[in-house]
Amino acid sequence: MLQAAHRSSIEIKDSYDFYVLALKEFNKENLSEAFLDCDRAKYELTAAINDAKIRIMGSRFHSMRTLSYFFKLYGLYAVVFATSAVALFSILIYRFSEVTVLGVPLWSSFFAGLGSSAQILTGVADDLRRYGLASRYKRLWYMAIPILAMIFGYMAYLVFGSGFIALNDNSQSQEFSIMFVCFLTGFLTKWLIGRLSRMSRDI
């Protein structure tokens, strides 16, 4: 919370001082004082956020700094990006489903991109459910996930669409199965990145 406030140009000195005191008391195993200092740090942070708001005719409204703080804290940048990506990939699937590149339909990449967008939204929701704030999707690295997912989706079609791995004898059912595999590949992009990174280190 302090990091998000500092990055949004909100004054956090008083809150940070009490946060440091809370850590010191915690290390001394003086838990009662540590909790008191932690509560005071949260109080000072809330006061700093309120001071950063705009005052108009006696009322306070969110400023660009406070909006930036909440966007960073709750991963709303990732939510907006992923929601926009869902809309974009849905349009691409609808408009360009028949386009192929080297015999591979582009919907394979688009379905993977759709899956990666769902993975980003799921990750943010899981962070909020567990911690009450976004812990994994604070930086812009998640913007690379849909691009990598499109590559993985294209390759997934090459593997499953070529008959190298048989899914179903019925052609229509097989196509639907490949769509699901491409979506699942996109959803598991983060996991695939981790696996490939480990493989590259081991080589």
Which residues are bridge partners to 104 per DSSP?
Answer: 101
Which pLDDT score, from 0 to 100, does residue 198 have?
Answer: 79
Which pLDDT score, from 0 to 100, does residue 83 have?
Answer: 92
Q: How is 165-178 classified by DSSP, letter by letter?
A: S---SSHHHHHHHH
Which pLDDT score, from 0 to 100, does residue 131 have?
Answer: 81
| pLDDT classification of 63: cutoffs 50, 70, 90 | confident
Which pLDDT score, from 0 to 100, does residue 203 have?
Answer: 65
Which pLDDT score, from 0 to 100, does residue 78 have?
Answer: 87
| pLDDT classification of 138: cutoffs 50, 70, 90 | low
Tens of pLDDT, residues 107-125: 899 999 999 999 999 988 8
Cβ within 8 Å of residue 86, ≥6 positions away = 114, 117, 118, 121
Which residues are bridge partners to 55 per DSSP?
Answer: 60
Which pLDDT score, from 0 to 100, does residue 114 have?
Answer: 93
In this prediction, residues 128-147 reach a mean pLDDT of 80
| pLDDT classification of 91: cutoffs 50, 70, 90 | very high
Q: Which is higher by pLDDT, 91 or 201?
A: 91
Query: Are 152 and 108 spatial neighbours (Cβ–Cβ below 8 Å)?
Result: no
Using the predicted structure, report yes or no on whether residue 169 has a pLDDT greater than 70: no
> Is 0.95 topped by the overall pTM?
no
Q: Which is higher by pLDDT, 163 or 104?
A: 104
What is the percent of the chain with per-residue pLDDT over 90, rounded to a whole number?
15
Q: Which is higher by pLDDT, 92 or 194?
A: 92
> Which residue's structure tokens are 């593997």?
159
Listed ranges 42-46, 61-65, 140-144; the one with the highest mean pLDDT: 42-46
> Which residue's structure tokens are 């919370």?
1
Residue 61 dihedral angles phi and psi, to the nearest 5°: -130, 155
Tens of pLDDT, residues 139-154: 677 888 899 999 999 9
Q: ∠45-5-130 over CA atoms, to 5°?
A: 85
